[in-house]
Amino acid sequence: MTDPYKVLGVSPSAGDDEVKSAYKELAKKYHSDNYVNNPLADLAEEKMKEINVAYDTIMNERRNGRSGQSSSGYSSGYGTSSGSSQFADIRRLITQNRIVEAEELLNGIPAQNRDAEWHFLKGNIFYKRGWLDEAFRSFTTAVNMSPNNMEYRAAYSNMARQRGGAMNGYPGGYRTSDTVNGCNGCDMCTSLVCADCCCECMGGDLIPCC
């Protein structure tokens, strides 16, 4: 087995707090939220498992010399809630990275049946291919057509944040545009919408009108 300290990038003499914060830093990087529908989602999940095991191993060793396995750890894999989807088979193809087939099926849907989900799935196909501009446009359409859908909104606001300059793994946390040119109106709006989404996830509401 690989050295758990190496996995977390800390020395064996590091204190518990140091181990914990190194673990948290990595867990934030590999978090499944950053890789929803990303073709590299498997790899990210694997890395997450690796650091979970490493963290547990270190903590258990320190707590009781050895043995036992319990523990904390960020869960990996949120799983996209598909709900009752009329495009279940297309979703499956997308998850399996079979985007050519998925796109063919999707394009076969007649124009009058192209709802918010259709645009969302189209966006996912673009996204997997790396066609980020079209992906962002499709997600925007999906959100406009169905503003209450959490899945579409998460995809949209994630990209909106990146368009504002957010990057994953920036040493010392997420890089946001304000390190370069301050917080602009666009940032504020997306942050608010983001906060609203989070509130609504937990049953509350921040912006009553949306």
Asked if residue 38 lies in contact with residue 59, where contact means CB atoms within 8 angstroms, the answer is: no
CA distance 25 to 15: 16
Q: For residue 145, which of 114, 112, 109, 102 has the smallest C-alpha distance?
A: 114
Note whether 25 binds other proteins by CB under 8 A.
no
Task: Please pick, from the candidates 132, 145, 197, 206, the single residue that binds other proteins as defined by CB under 8 A.
Answer: 132
Residue 91 or 128: which CB sits closer to other proteins?
128
Contact window for other proteins (CB under 8 A) among 66-74, 114-122, 141-149, 173-181: 173-181
Q: Does 183 bind other proteins (CB under 8 A)?
A: no
Instruction: Give me the 107-126 binding string for other proteins, x by CB under 8 A, dash otherwise.
Output: -------------------x
| Gap between the Cα atoms of 50 and 43, Å rounded | 10
Q: Looking at beta carbons, which pairs linking 83-88 to residues 24 or more positions away fall under 8 Å?
A: 85/117, 86/117, 87/117, 87/118, 87/121
- Residue 44 within binding range of other proteins, rule CB under 8 A: yes
3-state helix, strand, coil in the chain (%, to 5): 60, 0, 35
Per residue, the 3-state secondary structure of 169-188, as one string, reads CCCCCCECCHHHHCCCHHHH
Interface stretch with other proteins, choices 31-39, 65-73, 98-106, 193-201 (CB under 8 A): 31-39
Q: Does 40 bind other proteins (CB under 8 A)?
A: yes
Residue 35 in contact with other proteins, rule: CB under 8 A: yes
| Shortest separation between residue 160's beta carbon and other proteins, angstroms | 9
Q: Is 73 in the site for other proteins (CB under 8 A)?
A: no
Q: Which residues in this chain contact other proteins in the complex, by CB under 8 A?
A: 29-30, 34-35, 38-40, 43-44, 46-47, 126, 130-134, 136, 159, 161-171, 175, 177, 180-181
